[in-house]
Structure formats: C-alpha cells, structure tokens
Amino acid sequence: MKSLLLCTTLVCASVLTACANHAPSPQSKFMYHSPAQAYSLDLGSVAFRGEVAIRESCTPEGSSLDLTDNEGRFFRVDAVNLINHPKIELPEFADDPTVRDLVMQFYTDSVNTGGRVLEKANVNSRMGPALYVLVEFPDLQKSTRYVGYLVSRRGNFAYVLQHVQNSQRPRNMRTILGLMAADLKIPGTLPMLEKQSDTPLYVDLKNSTPEQIAEWKKAARCT
C-alpha cells in the first residue's frame, strides 16, 4: 500500500490496492461513474482547473480515483467498503462520528504515515455530516505538502475526498473539498445499465465466498 505523498508525479497507486493500468469505464462527457455504483463525479467541477487526467483502481475493499488537473494539482476520491473491512474494525452499532474517526485513523496510521494533524473538525458538507482533517507532511529535501481529507459515511461506504497543496491554505483547502463534495452524487450510475440500483452494490468482505466475490466484481464492474 503506497502513500500518495511518495509518488513523484502525484499520480499514485491506490491507497486500497495496487493501481490497475486499465482505461476507466465508459464515461459521459463530463461525468465519472465509479465501480459498484458508489458515486458519480462531475469532471467539470469548478474544483478542477481545466481538463483532468484520471486513473482508477478497484477491489472488493474499495475503489480509488486519482485526478490531476491542467495545473498539475492532485485530488483523490476513495470509496471504502465498511462491511467487515479487514483493516478498519468497527464496533457493533458504531455511530457515524465513530466510523469517520476510525476511517481517518486508518489513513493516518497505515496509509499516509508520518504526518502532523494541523486541524480536525466535524463539518457539514453536501455529502452530509463529515470529518475534515488537514495534515502536514514535512519533507527536508522537497517542499512540505499539506493534505486535506473530507470523510463521510453513507450506508456501507466511507467516502474519503483528498487534495494536496504545496502551501498551508486552510480556507482554500476547505473550499476545494467542499466543491468536490457538492459535485459527488451518491449513489452513482453504472453506464449502459438499463436498471439502476437505488443503493451502491455492496459485498461482505468476510462472509462472502470466492464465487460471490467474483459475481459481485462482475456486477459492480470492478476490474
């Protein structure tokens, strides 16, 4: 599992799985539709400057979308499967704030380590109640990087929006993450599927058989 901060080009491997080198699913002109109908993202969002280059990956544990806009700014959207996730142990009947804290702890402890939390707050977003976290990653050889996270739970997915900046601009970071959240539709759409589900397609990571996992991957277009 690689950190987004260790990628020299800022086009990184997924925080959930090794990055798949395949073209994304068929998209409409300005929309990205994630696997499992987890979300759809407007690629014409004002959060981005110009066109965006995208790279996606997917496993039953979740999907990741890396985006780089015309100015080289990096963004990421992760949809994390919370049903018996092997690295995020949720207490029985955990409320949403607890889930958001545990998901964020997974990121700071296991994904992007070595950072210093500068700001942490519960906020309201277009995704619903969310946890906003700003983390500083010092680098003695390169410029310090600042990563903003916006974490929200919807059903059995945790949505983790991320943005990287080269200077500390907390107000701008909040604005950009808020704009991304506003242009994220949950559940999303699976292109060319006649009947759309009212909820994302979930799979139990602990109790599903290999055959059930394979069937889910096919239905979810998770490759």
**Cβ atoms 186, 154 nearer than 8 A:** yes
Query: What kind and span of H or E run contains 134?
Result: strand 128-137
| Domain count across the chain | 1
pLDDT score at 142: 75
Nearest to 19 by CA among 38, 37, 4, 36: 4
The residue range of the domain holding 164 is: 4-220
Q: What is the CATH number of the domain that holds 35?
A: 3.40.1000.10
Where does the chain show beta strands of DSSP type E?
A: 31-33, 40-42, 52-59, 62-69, 74-81, 116-125, 128-137, 145-154, 157-165, 184-185
Return the SS3 of 129: strand
Q: Which amino acid does the sequence have at 122?
A: N
Nearest to 187 by CA among 37, 31, 25: 37
Radius of gyration (C-alpha) of the chain in whole angstroms? 17
pLDDT score at 197: 67
* Torsion angle (degrees, nearest 10) of CA 7, 46, 186, 61: 0
Q: CA–CA separation, 140 vs 155, rounded Å?
A: 41
pLDDT score at 26: 37
Nearest to 66 by CA among 58, 106, 221, 219: 58
pLDDT score at 195: 63
Query: What kind and span of H or E run contains 33?
Result: strand 31-33
Our separate counts of H helices and E strands in the chain read 3, 10
**Cβ atoms 79, 62 nearer than 8 A:** yes
Give the pLDDT of the chain (223 residues) as one tens digit per residue.
334 432 322 233 333 222 333 333 333 358 999 999 999 999 999 999 988 999 999 999 999 999 999 999 999 999 999 999 999 999 988 999 999 999 999 999 988 888 999 999 999 999 999 999 999 998 767 789 999 999 999 999 999 999 999 999 999 999 999 999 999 999 998 776 666 667 899 999 999 999 999 999 999 999 8
pLDDT score at 166: 92
11-27 burial code (b ≥16 CB/10 A, e <16): ebbbbbbebbeeeebee
pLDDT score at 192: 66
